[in-house]
Amino acid sequence: MSERAMGEPECWAGIAWTADGYEAVVVDRAGRPVAVPTRWGAARVAELAAWLHRIGAGRGRELAVVLDSTNGLLDGPLTAAGLDVRRADPWTLPQRPAFGSVSAAALADCARRAPASPARLTPESGSLAGREAEFETGVADGAELRAALTAAGRCVEHGRRDRRQVALTFDDGPDPVLTRQILAVLARHGARATFFCVGHHVAALPEEVRRITEAGHELGNHSWSHPFLPDLTPAQLCEQIDRTAEAIARVTGREPSRFRPPYGSQTPEVLATLAGQRTTVTLWDVDSRDWARPGAERIATTVLEAVRPGSVVLLHEGAGDRRQTVLALPAVLAGLADRGLEPVTLTELLAPDPPLTAPAPALTPVAMPVPVPGPVSR
């Protein structure tokens, strides 16, 4: 069966990320332009999805969107919008720039020339569809270095099990709509949390970042574009971390002290690079799997069945349709309260015990002279 008979789309939309947003190029099977190339700010993803729908289904065309593996921010919202999204991997593409993805034109051209090459992404498969075994091998290979970093206090998955506290963590934000909804739920329950933000969204939505910190929550670094880290050079990985730290500092006045690798990537090469950074690698021990959109009830059940004292819970607020997470959050917080578990920030969860107060020194009796009665005046 030919590639076309297997469902080759009529046109390809290459979407590239840049320092300040996205660029889009749409071509047909012959490489002819279908639309004028466009640029979109990082906060305009919903508008980008609507535009792609108009170019494709709105004109009776089968359209597929192609991203590269350094862009983990768009497959979630675009698949949620009903678009056909594919991922092109480095060995099929020209060299990337020092910061940014392969150009939109190159992505579209490579996909149309080899339409069977890009991996199809779905909400259930996530961004790493077809590379799951590679990911698992990388985690296994990095176990020794991860253990060394953990022993040095440079990597954490959970806190102490003898404290009835947990840390709820939200990745991939901020989001122009859902961040404030999550903050409202947390406020109603008197809960504190940690938000691992991506630089692309921080730069586009600084007011949402301020909203998080003003509500008493904590920020962490989650890279700039949510890439699959093994596909980056060490210099590119450091650039992602440094630019995100700088973007957060411009808003809040301070850089975050924690970095969460996208997807939890932990190859020896990635961990060796992270060891040279000034941040603590922060993972999790409870995965809500909310990114797969299994339903709010399932998300809450997954968390509450796995959580225990000291747990770090992985949730998401951005880079996709996270409405189910918002709907699940009240049940998660109520379940934690029923179990006597307090949601706190990571800094609170991982804080050392305060030193015991030294007892007050015992008072030494002091011999006081006994007064001798003098003569009595008459």
Q: What is the pLDDT along the chain (378 residues), one digit of tens a residue?
A: 333 334 689 999 999 999 989 999 999 999 999 999 999 999 999 999 999 999 998 888 899 999 999 999 999 999 999 999 999 999 999 999 999 999 999 999 999 999 999 999 998 888 999 999 999 999 999 999 999 999 999 999 999 999 999 999 999 999 999 999 999 999 999 999 999 999 999 999 999 999 999 999 999 999 999 999 999 999 999 999 999 999 999 999 999 999 999 999 999 999 999 999 999 999 999 999 999 999 999 999 999 999 999 999 999 999 989 999 999 999 999 999 999 999 999 999 999 876 555 555 554 444 434 444 444 333
Helix (H, G, I), strand (E, B), or coil: what is residue 348?
helix
**356 CB contacts (<8 Å, ≥6 apart)?**
none
Helix (H, G, I), strand (E, B), or coil: what is residue 55?
helix
Please pick, among 68, 75, 171, 172, the residue that the annotation labels catalytic: 171
Q: Which helix (H) or strand (E) holds 238?
A: helix 234-252
Please pick, among 158, 217, 222, 316, the residue that the annotation labels catalytic: 316
Cα gap 69→88, rounded to integer Å: 7
Report the predicted TM-score, pTM, of the whole model to 2 decimal places.
Answer: 0.89
Say if strands 11-18 and 21-28 run parallel, antiparallel, or are unpaired. Answer: antiparallel
Residues of the chain with CATH 3.20.20.370: 132-349
Is residue 316 annotated as a catalytic residue, yes or no? yes
Q: What CATH topology corresponds to 11-121?
A: Nucleotidyltransferase; domain 5 (3.30.420)
CATH 3.40.50.1820 is held by the domain 132-349:
no
Is residue 171 annotated as a catalytic residue, yes or no? yes
Residues of the chain with CATH 3.30.420: 11-121
